[in-house]
Amino acid sequence: MKTGVLDARSDAAPIVHLIDDHPDAAAEAAQLVRARAFAEPLLYGRLLDTGEDALAHADAVAAILQGIGAAPAMRAAAYLVYAGDYLTKPDEVIAKAFGPSHASLVVNTRKLVQLQRAAREAQLGTEARAQQTERVRKMLLAFSRDLRVVLLRLASRLQTLRFFAATKTPCTPALAAESLQVFAPLANRLGIWQIKWELEDLSFRVLEPERYQQVARLLDERRVEREQRVERFRLRLADDLRAHGLPAEVQGRPKHLYSIWKKMQGKGLDFTQVLDVRAVRVIVPDVPRCYAVLGRVHELFRPVTGEFDDYIERPKPNGYQSLHTVVLDDDGRAVEVQIRTQAMHEHAEHGVAAHWAYKDAGAKGYAGVVADADQQARIAEARKAVLRQLLAWERDTAAPEHPAGSVAGGAAEDRIYVFTPAAAVVELPAGATPVDFAYTLHTDLGHRCRGARVDGAMVPLNTALRSGQTVDVIVAKEGGPSLDWLNAELGYLKSHRARAKVRAWFNLQAQKETIARGRESVEKLLQREGKTAIKLDDLAAQLGFRNADALFEVVGKDEYSLRNIETLLRPVEALPTPDDLIALRRPSTTAPKSGVLVVGVESLMTSLARCCRPAPPDAIGGYVTRGKGVAVHRASCTNFRQMAAHSPERVIAVQWGAPRGDKAALYPVDVMVEAADRQGLLRDITELFAKEKMNVTGVKTQSVKDSGGGTAWMTFTIEVADAARLTHVLGLVQHIAGVRSVRRK
């Protein structure tokens, strides 16, 4: 396979002509000469990391760019990018000598090169390396708004592979794989077929040397015969078209090794079954003549059924247009014929890159020349075409588990790529801020973030970052995030993960405060009981908790009664005998005021436990306390189960009875509500309780602000005569706007 320099075109695409034929085209040509003269002393004698001479590489890249129709200003940039590696402040120096446009190109291209090198050199497993390859592809898309960066990388990679092939220097599989998986598909999407095919063949040669040689041998063994057949076919077709008044250029079309191999593997074909190994291309002035030539081809040769494609009527996604047909020559051998106009051929060979104006988005180009209105419109249309192709490529290659438009696999504009001071790339959602950047690097770094420099300049922490910027965060030695970061209106956080980390930090602080409150209560109890020498972890273990903090947390939340600890600390007293219990009876034989009867004992003093607040018709159990009668718990109460397991002899059967008096007894119960915080939430809930004739005797509230406005936790103490009716009321609360969950404590 030949891998020579792409031929410079004499007929550039229309928009390229518009630029090159501009009155100041001579100025751009002079700029190219000046750029090479500027770079030559910096690059002379220097070697790239591949071992190639740096100046020779820059010359070759400029030649490749010329082959796809790049303007002189674009080719000049090829020299400046490599010269930038040997300048102390390349952006400042190049901006002063050649303007800010070239300076931006140099900075972005060098950063992209650093990313690619880091991705290839990383010691990763197969899955992680695939992710790195995906990041390289996304990074190319992130820079695609400046197509110059993409084209420079394509041309540079092609030249690198050519160097390895020409010098027989070993090429790393990682570089070849990246070329095949990232750069060749990109060239394909842009329709730059010359570069796409050569990248594929050269990468195939490195990754599959035996199969490459196998296909090469098959081609070489039949090359003379095949070329003679193609030439006879070409001459006969050209003569026939000329005789029928159809002006056309008929040329042989090379078939590329990787394309042949893919077709053999994909369709399970033998080499002799690949129909388009022999192929010709017919180029005509206009579309009507395309179909006229197709008619002559089918009259002159017998077409193969099912091998006709009309890409003029239905172009490929990247804009490719042509008529494809397969016919049998005089010897019955298949020959593929492609028929297209000159414009279609131009697009097929050089793609949308040939229609890129290589100008800044503003009114002035690289040379400071103002474009007229018509030129500006054509430039804008060309830009749109390029971006449409690149975004379509992004959608086509999105991972199946992350469909296009999702966070992980969305279009290029959904993500940005910025750099750390060490040139490591960081992927962030579009609109992300320095705070998002800090949390992506490390959670603790995010908590302590206090300022940021972007490209060396101090910026506010809610500044939206852009792809290609270098971000350096300033951190405090200790401290935590600001509650303002959770306020969506202030715009400090874009990443969902960063917001979750900030909320987790504040939740942890709240938990620490709860534990401290519980510790204080437990330690005061131990002081009153004279048990300060006891180990807190041992005390927690005896009560059935994992550690002391777990005990302190439930005590701090008022979910665990200190009476349980008192019971454990005080010596066990002899339980009263049944006769003693009977002696405790009150003179009255009516039911107690609480409405609770102790089975087998009348008028024994009872109290409702505050930890679980039982109410009819809850299943209940009694626990004999010291001096306070029987504490009545719900049978499902955690405290009751733990006390029963520790002192089963104190458990006594109880049941609900008819309360004394005409009025129904009311029982306090706790209801816990979690809701999105909003104005009027507390009012709406209390009004509903009032409407349902349930008296609210106490409310505790706590709220934490976040990006969604905040979350509120509320505990209502209400009086009910029947807990069964409470279920209906809780269902009504659940339908109040913003309420996420409601339950009885």
What is the arithmetic mean of pLDDT over 689-710?
A: 79
The CA distance from 180 to 201, in Å, is 9
CA distances from 334 to 229, 296, 300, 322, 331 (A): 11, 17, 14, 19, 9
- Residue 339: predicted pLDDT: 94
Give the containing element (helix H, strand E) for 655.
Answer: strand 654-656
Least confident residue range of 199-203, 233-237, 275-279:
275-279
pLDDT confidence of residue 580: 43
Q: What pLDDT is attached to residue 19?
A: 31
User: What single DSSP character describes residue 577?
Assistant: P
Side-chain half-sphere of 5: how many Cα atoms within 13 Å?
15
Instruction: Check residue 277 and give its pLDDT.
Output: 60
Q: CA-CA distance, 407 to 405, in Å (whole number)?
A: 7
Residue 560 gets which letter from DSSP? S
> Which of 264, 229, 260, 234 minimizes the C-alpha distance to 249?
234
pLDDT of residue 225: 66
Which pLDDT belongs to residue 81? Answer: 87
What does the alpha-carbon distance between residue 187 and residue 201 come to, in Å, rounded to a whole number?
13
Q: What is the per-residue DSSP string for 170-185? A: ---HHHHHHIIIIIHH
What is the predicted pLDDT for the residue at 723? 80
In Å, what is the CA distance from 487 to each residue of 39, 106, 492, 505, 682?
Answer: 51, 38, 8, 15, 21
Long-range residue pairs from 560-563, CB within 8 A, at least 24 positions apart, any chain: 560/611, 560/638, 560/639, 561/609, 561/610, 561/611, 561/639, 562/521, 562/522, 562/525, 563/625, 563/631
Q: Does the pLDDT of residue 374 top 80, yes or no?
A: no
| Kind plus residue range of the DSSP H or E element containing 457 | strand 457-459
Looking at residue 492, what is its pLDDT? 92
Concatenated DSSP letters for 343-374?
A: HHHHHHHHGGGGG-----SSSB-TT-PBPPHH
DSSP result, 271-319: GGG-GGGSEEEEEESSHHHHHHHHHHHHHHSEEPTT--EETTTS--TT-
434-476, pLDDT tens digit by residue?
A: 999 999 888 999 999 999 999 888 999 999 998 768 889 999 9
Return the SS3 of 677. coil
Q: Strand, coil or helix: what is 125?
A: coil
Average pLDDT, the chain: 75
Distances in Å between the alpha carbon of 546 and those of 515, 523, 538, 560, 647? 14, 18, 10, 15, 20
Check residue 446 and give its pLDDT.
92
pLDDT-derived band of residue 124, with 50, 70 and 90 as boundaries? very low
Q: Which of residues 271 and 483 earns the better pLDDT score?
A: 483
Q: 493: phi > 0 → left, psi -120 to 50 → alpha, else beta; which?
A: beta
252 in helix, strand or coil? strand
Q: Which residues pair with 672 in a beta bridge?
A: 715, 743
Residues present in the chain in total: 745
**Lowest mean pLDDT segment, chosen from 91-100, 584-593, 711-720:** 584-593
Residue type, 594: S
Q: What is the pLDDT of residue 468?
A: 67
What pLDDT does residue 452 have?
A: 92
Q: How far apart are CA 169 and CA 176, in angstroms?
A: 13
Q: What mean pLDDT comes out for the span 595-611?
A: 71
β-pairing, 302-303 vs 249-252, is unpaired
Give Cα 590 distance to the centre of its chain. Answer: 71
Per-residue pLDDT tens digits for 45-63:
888 888 899 899 999 999 9
Given this model, what pLDDT does residue 636 score? Answer: 85
Helix, strand, or coil (residue 38): helix
Q: How are beta strands 449-454 and 457-459 bridged, if at all?
A: antiparallel
Q: How confident is the model at residue 704 (pLDDT cuts 50, 70, 90)?
A: confident
Give the C-alpha separation, 361 to 346, whole Å: 25
- Complete DSSP assignment for 367-388: T-PBPPHHHHHHHHHHHHHHHH
The whole-number pLDDT of residue 142 equals: 59
Show Cβ contacts of residue 467 under 8 Å, excluding neighbours closer than 6 positions: 142, 143, 416, 417, 418
Cβ atoms of 102 and 365 within 8 Å: the answer is no
Comparing 188-192, 199-203, 487-491, the range with the smallest average pLDDT is 188-192
Tell whether the model's pLDDT for residue 609 goes beyond 60.
yes
- pLDDT of 139-190, one tens digit each? 666 555 566 777 888 899 999 999 998 888 888 887 888 788 778 877 776 6
Run of H or E residues at 94: helix 90-98
Task: Give 413's DSSP letter.
Answer: G
Cis peptide preceding 617, ω within 30 of 0: yes
> What is the arrangement of strands in the sheet containing 471-475, beginning at the earlier edge strand?
457-459, 449-454, 471-475
Q: How far is CA 608 from the centre of its chain?
A: 54
Over pLDDT 70: what percentage of the chain?
71
* Of 59 and 125, the one with more pLDDT: 59
The rounded radius of gyration (Å) of the Cα atoms in the chain is 40
CB-facing half-sphere around the CA of 194: CA atoms within 13 A: 26
Q: Please give the pLDDT value at position 564.
A: 80
Q: Is the pLDDT of residue 369 over 50?
A: no
What is the tens place of the pLDDT at every residue in 185-198? 777 766 677 788 88
Q: How far apart are CA 496 and CA 493, in angstroms?
A: 8
Most distant CA atoms of the chain, gap in Å = 132
| 490 bridge partner residues | none
* Predicted pLDDT of residue 590: 42
Query: pLDDT at position 284, please?
Result: 93
Domains of the chain: residue spans and CATH: 14-207 (1.10.3210.10), 220-348 (3.30.460.10), 506-569 (no CATH), 578-656 (no CATH), 667-744 (3.30.70.260)
- The mean pLDDT of 628-649, rounded to a whole number, is 84
Place of tokens 């089975």: 599
- The enclosing H or E element of 579 equals helix 578-583
Distance CA 473, CA 688 (A): 50
Per mean pLDDT, which range of 192-196, 259-263, 286-290, 656-660 is the poorest? 259-263
Q: Give the pair of three-digit tokens for residue 161.
A: 């592979």
Quick one: how many helices (H) and strands (E) in the chain?
27, 21
Q: How far apart are CA 618 and CA 249, in angstroms?
A: 95
Residue 559 per-residue DSSP state:
-
Selection from 662, 639, 661, 666 nearest residue 722 by Cα: 666
Question: Two tokens at 356?
Answer: 């890129």
Cβ neighbours of residue 87 closer than 8 Å, sequence gap 6 or more:
42, 93, 94
pLDDT at 148: 74
Q: Which two three-digit tokens encode residue 275?
A: 């129909």
460 or 108, greater pLDDT = 460
